[in-house]
Amino acid sequence: MDLFDKCYSYTVAEEARKAGLYPYFQPISSEQDTVVIINGRKVLMFGSNSYLGLTVHPKVKEAAKKAIDKYGTGCAGSRFLNGTLDIHEELEERLAEFVNKEDALLFSTGFQANLGGIAGLVGKGEYVILDKSDHASIVDGARLSYGTVKRFIHNDMESLEKVLSSIELEAGKLIVVDGVYSMDGDIANLPEMVKLKKRYNARLMVDDAHSFGVLGKNGRGTANHFGLEDDVDIVMGTFSKSFASLGGFLAADRAVIDYLRHFARSVIFSASITPASTAAVLAALDIMENEPELIDKLWANTERMRKGVQDMGYDTGTSCTPIIPLIVGDDEKVLRMRRMLLDEGVFVNPVVSPAVPPNKTLIRLSLMATHTFEQIDIALDKLYKVGRALDVI
Ligand SMILES: Cc1ncc(COP(=O)(O)O)c(C=O)c1O
């Protein structure tokens, strides 16, 4: 057997390309805004994680340009050695304050924050306990750790308790969950989780990738939303969504963050985030702290879209955030629907198996604060037309 045999016999992607249904790596020739240019045509964007629309905000763009003028285009090294800038430290302080923790540590991506944080903290004889719908970076971080990985049924607190009670009380345990789940758009049951983590001597880490800019005061995330900032031990965030940039961070007690500065391999052995990316996040934070009306608009848009699709008969599952799944339950139909919507001028994301079970395949809509009601209404018209044509509604 040749190692490459599996590559030579992998035909699924090519078959989808030939059928005109391949949905991935779609080039966009413009900014990530509510309207993007695809194949020379204007398309309404309903698949972006830029929840507050800040990737095109003049102040964010200006801050990134100024940072290039002052600091150049890259740091040419890791934070550990030559790659720490004063603005990295400024951003860490601002983020720690934002989430009400003592300290924070930047990573070059959110994926790396989960890898480095979980693998750095959970050692031999310890446990990492995951929700079955946790993001891939959490799963990989757990795999990289030397601890034992346990999983519980999605957002099911009885299942979590069963796992916790099966582990010796004295053993170190880290529960890791998404604050907002990226496929279903539902929110982690932190109030119950906090009770359980206290009862069973566990620590709790929340991945707020989809919660910053969405939940809590000024978009401070899931713990703030529930009034549980002191009970969530580690907050993880990414800059690739509401923060309109690239990178990630962990925030926690000073001792935990200082330990991770010296044991999180993905921060020590990877170059630090670029000056432009760092400055963009600082500017996005200013906007989040000073323009709360953006979050109100995001929620008004979300409710208009959710009501619209539900009134048409779409099944939106347990979603209660700007991530709105339309459950289709058939891989090919999802790919057809995505393609037909694109032809009608609406970009959406398809989610097919094995990312979700085959009967739960879905089209994922993501709302932005900067969508207009008119754009949402156009998308609703197209969703009705295509949904009816494919017998989804
Ligand atoms: C829940 C969650 N965690 C982590 C990440 C990884 O973040 P990044 O894009 O910064 O690598 C993502 C998405 O990208 C995510 O959705």
The model's pLDDT over 56-76, given as tens digits with 9 standing for 90+, comes to: 999 999 999 999 999 999 999
pLDDT tens-digit profile of 324-340?
999 999 999 999 999 99
pLDDT tens-digit profile of 341-379?
999 999 999 999 888 888 899 999 999 999 999 999 999
pLDDT tens-digit profile of 144-158?
999 999 999 999 999
DSSP letter string, 284-346 = HHHHHHH-THHHHHHHHHHHHHHHHHHHHT---TT--SSEEEEE---HHHHHHHHHHHHHTTE
Assign 187 a pLDDT band (cuts: 50, 70, 90): very high
Mutation to probe ligand 1, out of 32, 55, 111, 133 (largest number of atoms < 8 A from CB): 111
Mean pLDDT over each residue of the chain, to the nearest integer: 97
Where do you find CATH 3.90.1150.10 in the chain? 14-45+292-389
CA atoms within 13 A on the CB side of 14: 5
Nearest to 216, CA basis, from 239, 235, 240, 193: 235
Asked whether residue 249 carries a pLDDT value surpassing 90, the answer given is yes
* Amino acid (one-letter) located at 136: A
Interval 302-317 mean pLDDT: 98
Ligand 1 near 155 CB (within 6 A)? no
Can you tell me whether residue 140 is helix, strand or coil?
helix
pLDDT of residue 107: 98
Query: Which CATH code is given to the segment(s) 58-290?
Result: 3.40.640.10
Taking the model in full, what pTM does it have?
0.97
Residues with catalytic function: 182, 210, 241
Where do you find CATH 3.40.640.10 in the chain? 58-290
Can you tell me whether residue 260 is helix, strand or coil?
helix
Ligand 1 near 178 CB (within 6 A)? yes
71 CB-near residues (< 8 Å, 6+ apart):
85, 87, 275
The tokens describing 361, both together, are 């395949």
pLDDT of residue 292: 94
DSSP letter string, 149-180 = EEEE-TT-HHHHHHHHHTS-TTS-EEEEEESB
**Index of the ligand 1 atom closest to the CA of residue 111:** 11
The CA-atom distances, in angstroms, between 99 and each of 92, 209, 224 are 11, 13, 8
pLDDT of residue 392: 96
What CA–CA distance (Å, rounded) separates 199 from 275? 43
Nearest to 185, CA basis, from 288, 315, 292: 315
The tokens describing 43, both together, are 């398309």
Interval 377-390 mean pLDDT: 98
pLDDT of residue 358: 87
Q: What strands lie across the sheet with 362-366, from one edge to the other?
A: 323-327, 362-366, 349-351
CA of 385 to the centre of ligand 1 (A): 32
What CA–CA distance (Å, rounded) separates 299 from 155? 23
CA of 233 to the centre of ligand 1 (A): 19
User: Architecture of 14-45+292-389 per CATH?
Assistant: Alpha-Beta Complex (3.90)
What CA–CA distance (Å, rounded) separates 31 from 45? 11
CA of 139 to the centre of ligand 1 (A): 12
Residue 258 CA to its chain's centroid (Å): 25
What CA–CA distance (Å, rounded) separates 356 from 184? 10
CA atoms within 13 A on the CB side of 131: 25
pLDDT tens-digit profile of 194-203?
999 999 999 9
Nearest to 350, CA basis, from 331, 367, 368: 331
What CA–CA distance (Å, rounded) separates 226 from 360? 29
Name beta bridge partners: 103. Answer: 252
CA atoms within 13 A on the CB side of 255: 1
